[in-house]
Amino acid sequence: MNRHCGPVRAKPRSVPHCVGRYAASSGWVSTACVSTTSPPRNDDVGFCKWFLVLFQNLLSSIQNSLGFSLSFLIYYGLPFHHRALTQIYTPFIQPGDLCFDLGAHLGDRIRAWSQLGAHIIALEPNPAAMRWLRRLYGNRPNIVLIEQAVGAHPGEGTFWISRLTPSISTLSHEWLSKVQKTPRFAGARWQEHIPVTVTTLDALIAQYGKPAFCKIDVEGAELDVLKGLSQALPALSFEYIPATIETALGCIDRLSQLGNYEYNWRVSEFPRLRSQVWLSPQAMTTQLQRMTRDSNSGDVYARLTPKGAGSTLPV
């Protein structure tokens, strides 16, 4: 292959319009390295389109790499994070228990639950995140990885991807539209959307069994996930975001239809639950309502009370 590096003499008429009039009039095109296999030199429009696609792909790759590198640093780089997660989940998970991780992202819960001896069904609709999960956990016999979303009904949905902050990618465009108007999410961008397969909690239970614990972290679609559940689970957690606290309040109402639950919560990546005692649905609701819209997000933990055998409802 013949390659020319450095300044390249070019005829003004052969320079694409997107390079600029100055380059054409001067007769010089400055470039680091031009290949003779580049797009047709006499097709200005074709070259511009090719260059734009190339630039967009490069930018997308850089954003994805940066976004997941930051997530990896947060979830795997902090020495206390794994130990704290293991301690939090120890009361809920015994060796051999089945657990569901809905919205697995990079799998920090998978790591903690594996240490506790759990069998794990992990769902993540983001293809880039799933590639990471398969590298990290794809060969573990106790882990099943599924590239799907979870919602109220089975079918197909649209998944909105944030490249720089992949942990806020979401199935809920309504949630996206609300949070991007708030100060905490003002700089967030969702650059692309893709079709994804959507399943339900009831379908997962029918296939794999009832989990001892289920984590729901799906960026605004938590209530939809619980609408696809028609029976009480022993214990679960769901994310709350103060800017859209109505979703978390709806989750408490939905769980109250399924069984008698008591609640606790954890702020962000704080290493322990915040309350010394478990709270009633009313007390947990009050606690969430007291939060300001710009407060840190976190997770609400729910467990069936000893008297709460639960009920079965139509989805």
Domains, the chain, with CATH or none: 3-68 (no CATH), 80-304 (3.40.50.150)
Read off the pLDDT of each residue in 155-173 and give the average, rounded to a whole number: 91
Model confidence at 187, in pLDDT bands (50, 70, 90)?
Answer: confident
Model confidence at 43, in pLDDT bands (50, 70, 90)?
Answer: low
% of residues, the chain, pLDDT over 90:
60
Torsion of CA 29, 35, 38, 40, to 10 degrees: 60
The DSSP line for 21-36 is HHHHHHTEE--SEEET
| Residue 161 or 70, more confident | 161
pTM of full prediction above 0.85? no
- pLDDT score at 190: 87
- pLDDT score at 39: 55
Model confidence at 28, in pLDDT bands (50, 70, 90)?
Answer: very low
pLDDT higher than 60, residue 134: yes
How many C-beta neighbours within 10 Å does residue 104 have? Answer: 27
Q: Across the chain, what does the average pLDDT equal?
A: 82
In this structure, of 32-46, 185-199, 245-259, 290-304, the range with the lowest mean pLDDT score is 32-46
In this structure, of 52-61, 78-87, 144-153, 241-250, the range with the lowest mean pLDDT score is 52-61
Q: Report the distance separating Cα 104 and Cα 101, nearest Å.
A: 6
- pLDDT score at 126: 94
List the beta bridge partners of residue 195.
158
pLDDT higher than 90, residue 244: yes
Model confidence at 62, in pLDDT bands (50, 70, 90)?
Answer: low
| Residue 212 or 46, more confident | 212
- pLDDT score at 311: 45
137, 110 in Cβ contact below 8 A?
yes
Read off the pLDDT of each residue in 11-22 and give the average, rounded to a whole number: 36
| Residue 133 or 82, more confident | 133
Most confident of 43-47, 58-62, 174-178: 174-178
Read off the pLDDT of each residue in 232-246 and give the average, rounded to a whole number: 96
Model confidence at 217, in pLDDT bands (50, 70, 90)?
Answer: very high
As to burial, measured by CB atoms within 10 angstroms (0-12 exposed, 13-18 middle, 19+ buried), residue 125 is buried
- pLDDT score at 5: 43
- pLDDT score at 6: 46
pLDDT higher than 50, residue 30: no
Q: Beta strand 155-161 with 192-199: parallel, antiparallel or unpaired?
A: antiparallel
In this structure, of 36-45, 86-95, 225-234, the range with the lowest mean pLDDT score is 36-45
> According to DSSP H, which parts of 185-244 are helical?
201-208, 222-227
- pLDDT score at 138: 95
Model confidence at 164, in pLDDT bands (50, 70, 90)?
Answer: confident
Read off the pLDDT of each residue in 22-36 and give the average, rounded to a whole number: 35
In this structure, of 48-62, 100-114, 187-201, 239-253, the range with the lowest mean pLDDT score is 48-62
- pLDDT score at 223: 97
